[in-house]
């Protein structure tokens, strides 16, 4: 059973995330800053450093949290009438919990398993995960703005340091891709929150709709399949029942 995001083995996407963060942060301080005028140094470096610290802080908060169902963390039974028995681990857990094969445990208010953080996102760490997405977006935006400022000196760089110019162009494309990808994920989770569903619910419903034509009459087939397979919709992590809040 994996305790949290710092438990081994580390996921390859988690390691890749660490490498990308190190490369981009190093580029900012050792490449971008020397190319900027000294009077702009506080304006550029202070917000970037603050956002970098927040990214590290919320990453630690998300990864260090154990999002397991409360009944798995104590010997005393904390269940209410809203409970079920997990078909995988045979544990008595809350209805909003789901078993994660990667973490090998039931997660309270399960949303999804994040390979970049090597942990599941559930009720206990979803808020910090959402904050992390916002901080990463700000961090990448500051990185891109500084990158574009450096590229405004393109003629000077081309004459003096052609290799540096190529590096800036390649890294700029990488930052833009990451910015758009993280922004899309942030918008997606805003949409999930607005519609009060989890990522897991969204994926399952999408699958049901894709197989509905072969099952008969669309939405009714979807509802019958949910009842038959006992797949209780989890709901958004913010929507965990008050009975569970007192036990987390």
Q: What is the pTM of this model?
A: 0.83
Residue 150 structure tokens: 């450096």
My answer on whether 110 and 227 are in the same domain is no
Which residue segment(s) compose the domain that 135 sits in? 12-197+233-245
The helix (H) or strand (E) run that includes residue 119 is strand 119-121
Residue scoring higher pLDDT (194 or 75): 194
What per-residue confidence (pLDDT) applies to 12?
94
Q: Which residues contact 108 (CB under 8 A, 6 or more apart)?
A: 67, 68, 69, 70, 93, 94, 96, 97, 122, 123, 124, 240, 244, 248
My answer on whether 206 and 131 are in the same domain is no
My answer on whether 62 and 51 are in the same domain is yes
Rg (CA), the chain: 22
My answer on whether 227 and 169 are in the same domain is no
My answer on whether 220 and 180 are in the same domain is no
My answer on whether 129 and 241 are in the same domain is yes
What per-residue confidence (pLDDT) applies to 179?
96
Q: What percentage of the chain exceeds 70 in pLDDT?
A: 77
Question: How far, in Å, CA of 23 to CA of 67, rounded?
Answer: 30
Residue 137 structure tokens: 């977006």
Q: Judge whether 53 counts as a catalytic residue.
A: no
Residue scoring higher pLDDT (219 or 120): 120
149 domain-assigned: yes
**Domain tally for the chain?**
2
What per-residue confidence (pLDDT) applies to 248?
44
5 domain-assigned: no
Is the pLDDT at 149 greater than 90, yes or no? no
Q: Which residue has the tokens 């916002």?
A: 134
The answer to whether 67 and 61 have CB atoms below 8 angstroms apart is: no
My answer on whether 140 and 205 are in the same domain is no
My answer on whether 221 and 238 are in the same domain is no
Provide mean pLDDT across the span 148-170: 73
The one catalytic residue in 65, 103, 106, 114 is 114
* Local confidence band at 59 (pLDDT 50, 70, 90 cut-offs): very high
What per-residue confidence (pLDDT) applies to 16?
96
Is the pLDDT at 52 greater than 70, yes or no? yes
Encode pLDDT of 19-38 as tens digits.
Answer: 999 999 999 999 888 888 88
My answer on whether 135 and 216 are in the same domain is no
Encode pLDDT of 161-211 as tens digits.
Answer: 677 778 888 999 999 999 999 999 999 999 999 988 889 888 888 877 776
Encode pLDDT of 88-122 as tens digits.
Answer: 887 778 877 888 888 888 888 889 999 999 999 99
6 domain-assigned: no
Residue 232 structure tokens: 């209780």
What per-residue confidence (pLDDT) applies to 187?
96
Question: How far, in Å, CA of 34 to CA of 188, rounded?
Answer: 37
What SS3 state is found at 68? Answer: strand
What per-residue confidence (pLDDT) applies to 114?
94
Query: To the nearest whole number, what is the mean pLDDT of the chain?
Result: 81
DSSP β-bridge partners for residue 99 = 106
My answer on whether 48 and 154 are in the same domain is yes
1 domain-assigned: no
Q: Which long-range contacts (CB under 8 A, 24 or more apart) does 83-90 make?
A: 84/230, 84/232, 87/230
Is the pLDDT at 222 greater than 90, yes or no? no
């Amino acid at each position: 059973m994996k305790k949290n995001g710092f438990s081994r083995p580390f996921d390859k996407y988690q390691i890749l995330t660490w490498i990308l963060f190190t490369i981009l942060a190093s580029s900012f301080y050792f490449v971008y800053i020397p190319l900027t005028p000294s009077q702009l140094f506080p304006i550029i470096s202070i917000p970037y450093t603050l956002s970098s610290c927040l990214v590290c802080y919320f990453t630690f908060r998300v990864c260090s949290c154990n999002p397991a169902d409360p009944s798995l963390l104590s010997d005393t039974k904390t269940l209410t009438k809203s409970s079920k028995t997990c078909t995988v681990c045979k544990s008595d857990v809350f209805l909003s919990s789901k078993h994660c094969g990667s973490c090998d445990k039931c997660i309270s208010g399960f949303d999804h398993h994040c390979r970049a953080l090597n942990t599941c996102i559930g009720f206990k760490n979803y808020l910090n995960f959402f904050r992390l997405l916002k901080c990463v977006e700000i961090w990448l935006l500051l990185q891109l703005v500084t990158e574009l400022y450096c590229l405004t000196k393109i003629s000077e760089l081309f004459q003096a340091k052609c290799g540096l110019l190529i590096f800036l162009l390649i890294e700029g494309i990488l930052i833009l891709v990451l910015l758009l990808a993280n922004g899309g994920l942030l918008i997606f989770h805003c949409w999930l929150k607005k519609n009060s569903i989890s990522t897991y619910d969204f994926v399952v419903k999408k699958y049901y709709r894709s197989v509905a034509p072969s099952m008969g009459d669309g939405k009714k087939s979807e509802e019958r399949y949910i009842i038959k397979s006992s797949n209780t919709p989890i709901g958004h992590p913010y929507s965990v029942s008050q009975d569970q809040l007192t036990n987390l």
